[in-house]
């Protein structure tokens, strides 16, 4: 294990059900391997149900609920994708406020696939550059962002560093960017 992240506390925010498993496990493992301290944060206690596209995947124990933690408890945030995950999160004011608080505090945020829907709802994309699953391009542009079809987009122009990727195939580049830019922050 390397110590690039040297105990950095990283929140992984997911809905109780519907997040894409590999978009959660791959960056989680990258953070752990780099010496970070990941925590699974959700809107409900217990276990969170991952999916492998449309099929149920594994369940993961929730470490904290958004009612009990704030961005003050973490150094960075990761928002995995999956279609249902960000759709549920963006309709939960607690999850939206939790997400927005990382931007308010200038902390790095990483997001992949459909995850930017939560950022659209949080109103934090104006003037930013970001990528996502292609079907979100119009929503992202309507939120005032520059949508790009690239493997990884790193935007440091705003109050924080925003790292984004399109899909599971981008995970090796996404994970490397997460570790590199979280360590720099």
What are the residue numbers of the active site? 113
Query: Residue 114, Cβ neighbours under 10 Å: how many?
Result: 26
Helix axes 171-184, 21-33, angle to 10 degrees: 40
Q: Which candidate, 174, 179, 181, places its Cα nearest to that of 20?
A: 174
How far apart, in Å, are the Cα atoms of 103 and each of 13, 129, 135, 168?
14, 14, 24, 25
Whether the Cβ atoms of residue 147 and residue 130 lie closer than 8 Å to each other: yes
- For the stretch 39-52, what's the b/e string if a residue is b when 16 or more beta carbons lie within 10 angstroms of its beta carbon? bbbbbeeeebbbbe
Residue 176: closest CA among 154, 147, 148:
154
Rounded distance between C-alpha atoms, residue 99 and residue 97, angstroms: 5
Return the half-sphere exposure (C-beta side, CA atoms, 13 A cut-off) of residue 156: 6
């Amino acid at each position: 294990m390397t110590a690039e992240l040297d105990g950095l506390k990283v929140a992984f925010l997911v809905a109780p059900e519907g997040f894409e498993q590999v978009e959660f496990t791959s960056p989680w493992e990258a953070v752990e391997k780099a010496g970070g301290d990941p925590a699974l944060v959700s809107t409900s206690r217990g276990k969170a149900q991952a999916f492998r596209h449309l099929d149920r995947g594994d369940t993961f124990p929730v470490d904290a609920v958004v009612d009990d933690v704030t961005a003050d408890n973490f150094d960075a945030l990761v928002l995995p994708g999956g279609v249902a995950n960000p759709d549920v999160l963006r309709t939960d004011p607690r999850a939206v406020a939790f997400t927005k608080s990382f931007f308010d505090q200038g902390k790095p945020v990483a997001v992949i696939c459909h995850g930017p829907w939560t950022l659209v709802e949080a109103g934090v994309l104006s003037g930013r550059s970001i990528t996502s699953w292609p079907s979100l391009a119009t929503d992202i542009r309507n939120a005032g962002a520059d949508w790009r079809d690239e493997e990884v987009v790193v935007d440091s122009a705003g109050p924080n560093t925003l790292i984004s990727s399109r899909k599971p195939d981008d995970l090796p580049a996404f994970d490397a960017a997460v570790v590199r830019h979280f360590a720099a922050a």
